[in-house]
Amino acid sequence: MQILLSPKQLHLTILRLAHHITENYSSLENLVFIGIQPRGVKFSDRLIAAIRQIRPNEAIQYGILDITFYRDDIRDELHIANKTDISFSIENKLVVLMDDVLYTGRTTRAALDALQDFGRPEKVMLCVLVDRRFNRELPIQPDFSGKTIDTMVSQKVKVEWDREEVVVY
């Protein structure tokens, strides 16, 4: 096991991502933020909290998206759906999808499919905490990434939220 991000580094990375996203927009009015269930929500909750600190007087539209039944890798075992909570329109909005680790791209593809049920956004951007860049199975790249790493297929990258660190096994 190797620690990729310590608790302090994790906090700073999330804060840097929040600044990177907000510095490109004078107003967040046309931006909507959507965390991908299940693991992306813990990351997106922290990222949204950091954005709210940077822009305390702006309303932030934040929702969570379940992609369970949009995945192309559902196997025979029972899948329990998570909650989707998007209480606003994404029609003609700039959507920032948020997930913890970008690996093959299949989760993001499923999220893009699921988003279509909520309207047609003007643009969709992807923000990830960790980008495993050489393991993609689909042509998907993040617009914002906290840490880009090169890993072997046999390795696993896990965000340990209870310990506030990112590790590689």
- Domain at 25, CATH number: 3.40.50.2020
Over range 79-90, report the average pLDDT: 87
* pLDDT classification of 78: cutoffs 50, 70, 90: low
pLDDT of residue 81: 74
- The total of structural domains in the chain comes to 1
Q: Does 133 map to a domain?
A: yes
Determine the structural domain holding residue 119 and report its residue range. 2-70+83-168
pLDDT tens for 108-162 read: 999 999 999 999 999 999 999 999 998 899 999 999 999 999 999 899 999 999 9
Q: Does 112 map to a domain?
A: yes
Sheet holding 2-5, edge to edge: 2-5, 165-168, 157-160
Q: Does 77 map to a domain?
A: no
**Cis peptide bond upstream of 7, omega within 30:** no
Q: Does 76 map to a domain?
A: no
Place of tokens 């590689």: 168
Cβ neighbours of residue 145 under 8 Å, at least 6 residues apart?
A: 102, 127, 128, 129, 130, 131
Q: Does 106 map to a domain?
A: yes
Identify whether the C-beta of residue 77 lies closer than 8 Å to the C-beta of residue 86.
no
pLDDT of residue 75: 56
Q: Does 31 map to a domain?
A: yes
Q: Does 108 map to a domain?
A: yes
pLDDT of residue 96: 98
Distance from the first to the final alpha carbon of the chain = 5
Query: For residues 122 and 2, what is the distance between their CA atoms, to the nearest angstrom?
Result: 40
Is pLDDT larger for residue 112 or for residue 68? 112
pLDDT tens for 8-50 read: 999 999 999 999 999 989 999 999 999 999 899 999 999 999 9
Q: Does 15 map to a domain?
A: yes
Q: Output the pTM of the full model.
A: 0.93
